[in-house]
Chain A
């Protein structure tokens, strides 16, 4: 059994490697000025430094997966960019404007469910669509289109309070997307969601990005970001410590090979070369092998590697 010190991830901030990477994929939509430009944001709550020089950009059509452990500053970042709270220092610009002036261009789906329990899904969408400038047919069309995309059509006339958790999550996202915002901030939109809800939300997010919206998507699930073809921004202690595609960030990180023997013994090795590791593990077993599991590096490995390098 062997454990190796993880290799440094690509794109760490203390390397000359890029903070904002060259744009990958969906080239047309991502060209031009960034929709979201955040530089040096700092925010302190009492003794807690929630943000400490947070930088992030997102271009039209780009999906940025903002990942990090709880308390990394993701939600504070979302609140500042939404214009709900003010940063102690630093700048946040949406299409060149401060958040307070860009409200109609932002759509926010907060981490916690924030719906009116006695009000139906349709009434929610009429309210928030109307407050965001949609009228009559445009509003009706937007409701029809979005609820179809999010598989909410059959629940349109049900009060939010009687919906399941997944349906509430989708309604929450629909409220954020109803006015086709130029910047979509989704704070853990799939937390606790079932596979159907997750897929519906991912599909809707992809559609919005294809329409040209810049999306910042905070999550703990790397697989979602892979499906969204998102670039990653890893937040830690109030700042973005790594930025790039998942392939770039995970490159060089060890995954894990796990072998279970007939007597129940488990052998495992962290490795960047699964084949060689498997050969080594199987060489001296002398027992039948029950199962072999090869796990690719994931977000947890990335977090761990960052923690090791930061001396945590």
Chain B
């Protein structure tokens, strides 16, 4: 039975990977655009800030990783547009298998995006190679999980792909700007500094900076906050997806 479940989950993951590979535009753009921004903004950040290289890499990375939650959202939205989610729900697969098979490839994409950008940051932008790769992987995985859950939850409450695009674009700008991805929080207006911790981007920036600096104790609080956000959004998305869309505009 467990083998069957594993097989079905793998089949779903393979199927969703295939869907992603046949429509790779978003992913390519969310990898290439931050690379260009890193190159363009590096001189500015290095001149203006003490840790300019770190800001030049982590800022676009966090910003475009938040943009990438629309990839997750879209992967769920298309099931609604194509009316295929209900077809899957009628098969022998359990909800857990379907959801795992659906989200696993998206999670890998989020990890891939962050890893590629970090490698680019080290090789091209001049970010020092982090002392402990394990902390980096942990930070990338925690933030990836948070984004996955956020994107999934978002896809279950918007009415259309247009809505999803609008919410994820505006949300990404807001979350990353408030989180200090464009300008360090310390340089932002007082009111913005005050509300910055309300943004998941703030905790992502803290988490990645701590991980790159090898500061394990500095990672704990932001990692816990990111995980908490991810768990709440993930539980919400799971609940909504397991019910299907029915005849509602929403789930």
Contact = CB atoms under 8 A, between A and B. Distances in A.
A17 interface: no
A153 B40 CA distance: 53
Contacts of A45: 247
B247 A127 contact: no
B89 A110 contact: no
Contacts of A307: none
B186 interface: no
Nearest to A104: B92
Contacts of B90: 82-84, 103, 106, 108
Interface residues of A, number: 27
A133 B4 contact: yes
A51 B116 CA distance: 54
Interface of B: 4, 7-8, 11-12, 15, 18-19, 22-23, 82-84, 86-93, 244, 246-247
A90 interface: no
B18 A175 contact: no
A128 B82 CA distance: 15
Nearest to B21: A118
Interface of A: 45, 79, 82-85, 103-104, 106, 108, 110, 112-119, 123, 127-128, 130-133, 175
Contacts of B19: 116, 118-119
A110 B19 CA distance: 22
A119 B82 CA distance: 12
A242 to B, nearest CB: 27
12 contacts: A83-B90, A84-B86, A85-B244, A104-B91, A116-B82, A118-B22, A123-B15, A123-B18, A127-B12, A127-B15, A130-B11, A131-B8
Contacts of A131: 8, 11-12, 88, 91-93
B95 to A, nearest CB: 10
Given A110-B86, A110-B87, 5 more contacts: A118-B22, A119-B18, A123-B15, A127-B11, A128-B87
Closest 3 CB pairs of A and B: A104-B92, A114-B83, A131-B91
